[in-house]
Amino acid sequence: MLRVDIQKQLGEFSLAASFTSEGRVTGLFGASGSGKTSLINTIAGLLRPDRGTIVIDGETVDDTAAGIHVPTWRRRIGYVFQDARLFPHLDIRQNLDYGRRMNGLTEDPAQHKRVVDLLDIGALLDRRPGKLSGGERQRVALGRALLSKPRLLLLDEPLGALDESRKLEILPYLVRLRDEAGVPMVYVSHDAAELRQLATQIVMLRRGQVTAFGGVKVLTAGV
């Protein structure tokens, strides 16, 4: 479960969002500049709300009234960025293993194999990020986030930097992830078609305000 009720002033832009989502994939939908990325960064703890609360999986990670702000690295979240942000000095195997090491988790070969198979990245393990295509990088970034065993997976336009054919290449993996990985996701996109395929609940944002919340059908009603 994810509960968000926050306000944040960013220069001239003010963000105010309040919603509770039980869905497997919560889609944050809106045009660019609507505050989607600021909102997901606030959930990640990269931005600190001016006022309000955020509860992830029953744990209060932000509560301005109580002075609570759990730093990003202790939130046990996974985050897939639009630009994959793989570590260039590590090979793919080490990139995938990074979150496990940082969280002090014991090795879990079964889980590792499951994720590697799910994303078809077994052939890439010994390569360097610089040698991968954009689509391959994004699949590795997904795997890296999953293998840190997050309780919430945040995805900020993970297909945004890919061309049409690459998008079609990655989408099925995301669908499998939703159905098989068992980790709730928050998925940011400005593409209604993408969200129709993936999301189970939609938070619609416009100029920093939530304008609609509900099932995927709000996409049709709102646009």
Partner 1 sequence: MFEISPTEWTAILLSLRVAVIATLVATPFGIALAWLLARRDFWGKSLLDAAVHLPLVLPPVVTGYLLLLTFGKRGLVGGWLADHLGIVFAFRWTGAALACGVMSFPLLVRPIRLSIEAVDRRLEQAAETLGAAPWRVFATVTLPLALPGVLAGMVLGFAKAIGEFGATITFVSNIPGETQTISSAIYSLIQTPDGDTAAARLVIVSVVLAVGALIAAEVFARRATARLHGH
Interface residues toward partner 1, by CB under 8 A: 44, 46, 71-74, 76-79, 81, 83, 85-89, 98-99, 102-103, 128-131, 144-145, 148, 154
Q: How far is the CB of 142 from partner 1 (least distance, A)?
A: 13
Q: How far is the CB of 211 from partner 1 (least distance, A)?
A: 28
Q: How far is the CB of 88 from partner 1 (least distance, A)?
A: 3
Asked whether 158 and 145 are in contact (CB, 8 A), the reply is: no
Q: How far apart are the first and last CA of the chain?
A: 27
Helix %, strand %, coil % of the chain (to 5):
35, 30, 35
Nearest to 91 by CA among 123, 140, 124, 127: 127
The smaller minimum CB distance to partner 1, of residues 149 and 206, is found at 149
Amino acid residing at 60 = T
Asked whether 103 and 148 are in contact (CB, 8 A), the reply is: yes
The smaller minimum CB distance to partner 1, of residues 151 and 196, is found at 151
The smaller minimum CB distance to partner 1, of residues 27 and 129, is found at 129
Nearest to 84 by CA among 27, 17, 160: 160
Q: How far is the CB of 181 from partner 1 (least distance, A)?
A: 16
